[in-house]
Amino acid sequence: MANILIIDDEQPIRASLREILEYEGHVVSESDDGMAGVIEATKSNFDAIYCDIKMPKMDGLDVLDMLESKGVSSPVIMISGHGTVETAVQALKKGAFDFIQKPLDLNRILVTLKHATETEELKAETTRLRKKVHKSKSHPIVGESKAITNILDMVDTVASTDARVLITGGNGAGKELVARKLHNGSPREGAAFIEVNCAAIPKELIESELFGHEKGAFTSAVKQRKGKFELASGGTLFLDEVGDMGLDAQAKVLRALQENKITRVGGDKDIKVDVRIVSATNKDLKKEITEGNFREDLYHRLAVIPLHVPSLNDRREDIPLLVDHFLKLLGDDHGILVPKVESAAMKLIQQADWTGNVRELRNVVERLLILTPKGSNITAAIVKHYAHLN
């Protein structure tokens, strides 16, 4: 069911449209001139507006201009018995969703309305998802412990340079957040932040992923493809889990860092790139070097500035702040009123062994938020029953 406004000075046209639309279950409002229609459109959020072009006082093209100036985003379907191609083009250029000629055709009216409302729903969903993705990728680094303030101070010092940074720490400790903060605090902030999870890409595909490939380079290479180095040029390339990269790919990454150029798989042309490299790993790379799994020369290229993200167990004083942060964040996502955490419950959470670090804490907080009865506090009993803490 859609909420629809009809703007037309001809009462028979308004009556016909109303009859058609109400028969389909839609709610219909009417205005008999352009100015009245603009005023009505600013009062309510209409899913679609049908607007005549030829009207006294204010014609439909002027209505389009007024609606835009007042921030009305409802799709406008123009209708006219005196339409020409030039008029239709002019209306569409001014932002009309579609143009229908009189006499009105039942199927055209309903099909156009369906397309208009579906388009608006897609726009709204896209906006919602973009906000959600942006929010999920722009979480602040929460904490006031000495370990975290030291990290933040170092990030503030290093971010404005192009120095390569190697971030170490356990799974779920927040290495990607540190990488993003480095990028967002740098002169490259307006350019791309490209992430590559080296552990998630098969060794035989990592070179193509990083450097791209030419058409025909291998069986499935049906067209040319740019790699992450090219896509990140001008911005930041984040090599996550870099310790899982194979030795062949390591050699090519080392060349790219030394010469600031790459060659696509199957190609012979050097391509200049300008990227800042931030890498991360949960492995002890010095041990990997000793065991022959990681190149020492690449390590020294990557670890110009080493940063270690502490485990959650090493900064337990930050847990209440993190719990409060995640409750507010997840409460908004789920549309749930944020419950109070009782002191005994918070004590249990602080004392737990957080082997999965901040990521594990977030999951537990989400579980408690959803499973705590509406209107109740998060109690020690609820934590013991649902949190499954170590």
CATH classification at residue 257: 3.40.50.300
164-215 pLDDT per residue, tens: 999 999 999 999 999 999 999 999 999 999 999 999 998 888 999 999 999 9
Residue 158 included in any domain: yes
Residue 138 included in any domain: no
Res 249 pLDDT > 70? yes
Cα–Cα nearest to 144, from 318, 312, 314: 318
267-289 pLDDT per residue, tens: 989 999 999 999 999 999 999 99
At 83, the pLDDT band (50, 70, 90 cuts) reads low
User: Domain check: are 120 and 208 in the same one?
Assistant: no
Kindly tell me the number of DSSP H helices and DSSP E strands found in the chain. Answer: 16, 14
Using CA atoms, how far residue 9 sits from 6, 13, 80, in Å, is: 10, 8, 11
The residue range of the domain holding 42 is 3-133
% pLDDT > 90, the chain: 76
Max CA separation in the chain (angstroms)? 87
Residue 200 class from Cβ within 10 Å (0-12 exposed, 13-18 middle, 19+ buried)?
A: exposed
Res 64 pLDDT > 80? yes
At 128, the pLDDT band (50, 70, 90 cuts) reads low
Written as six digits, the tokens of 364 are: 């537990």
Residue 239 included in any domain: yes
State the average pLDDT over residues 48-66: 90
Best-predicted range by mean pLDDT (10-14, 87-91, 309-313):
309-313
User: Domain check: are 352 and 273 in the same one?
Assistant: no
Q: Cα torsion at 15, 20, 22, 25 (round to 10°)? A: -170
User: Domain check: are 306 and 317 in the same one?
Assistant: no
Residue 352 included in any domain: yes
Q: Which of 274, 289, 310 is the last residue of a domain?
A: 310
Q: What is the pLDDT of residue 102?
A: 83
Q: Which of 252, 277, 310 is the last residue of a domain?
A: 310
% pLDDT > 70, the chain: 95
Using CA atoms, how far residue 233 sits from 12, 207, 297, in Å, is: 61, 17, 23
User: Domain check: are 124 and 175 in the same one?
Assistant: no
CATH classification at residue 123: 3.40.50.2300
Phi, psi (rounded to 5 degrees) for 88: -60, -45
Q: Which residue has the higher pLDDT, 373 or 222?
A: 373
Query: For the chain, what is the domain count?
Result: 3
Q: What is the pLDDT of residue 140?
A: 82
Res 134 pLDDT > 50? no
User: Domain check: are 72 and 97 in the same one?
Assistant: yes
* Cα gap 222→162, rounded to integer Å: 36
Q: In this structure, what DSSP letter does residue 314 have?
A: G
User: Domain check: are 18 and 82 in the same one?
Assistant: yes
* Type of residue at 119: T
Cβ-contact 13, 52 below 8 angstroms: yes
Q: What is the pLDDT of residue 139?
A: 60
Cα–Cα nearest to 304, from 236, 234, 257: 257
User: Domain check: are 302 and 330 in the same one?
Assistant: no
Res 135 pLDDT > 50? no
CATH classification at residue 382: 1.10.8.60
11-26 pLDDT per residue, tens: 999 999 999 999 999 9
320-366 pLDDT per residue, tens: 999 999 999 999 889 999 999 999 999 999 999 999 999 999 999 99
Q: What is the pLDDT of residue 71?
A: 86
